[in-house]
Amino acid sequence: MGLITSCCKPSASDVLTPDTETRRRQQVEAAERRRVQEEARGVKDPSRVKRMQQRSEEMEQREQELQKQGGATLKWSAD
């Protein structure tokens, strides 16, 4: 019975494995795909999220510039 199953499976010498550089490149590509998928998970419009993040960063930079200049700071007063 062992002869029948052993003839159906390829031997170790028949299995082709890519060289180390090819394997490394494939692993990097797979990691990049996983990263992109993880970023997009649950997000319907990824470009909208990026725009919102960029807007938020710009607002933070403007606030920092105003604070450095000692310019107008917006405060809410309950009179």
Cβ–Cβ under 8 Å, residues 46 and 40: yes
> What pLDDT, on the 0 to 100 scale, is given for residue 75?
62
Q: Alpha-carbon distance 49 to 30, whole Å? A: 24
pLDDT in tens, 24-78: 999 999 999 999 888 778 777 878 889 999 999 999 999 999 888 876 555 666 6
pLDDT (average), residues 5-10: 63
Domain boundaries, the chain: 45-69
Q: Alpha-carbon distance 71 to 64, whole Å? A: 10
- Ranges assigned E (strand) in the chain: none
Neighbours of 76 (CB within 10 A): 4
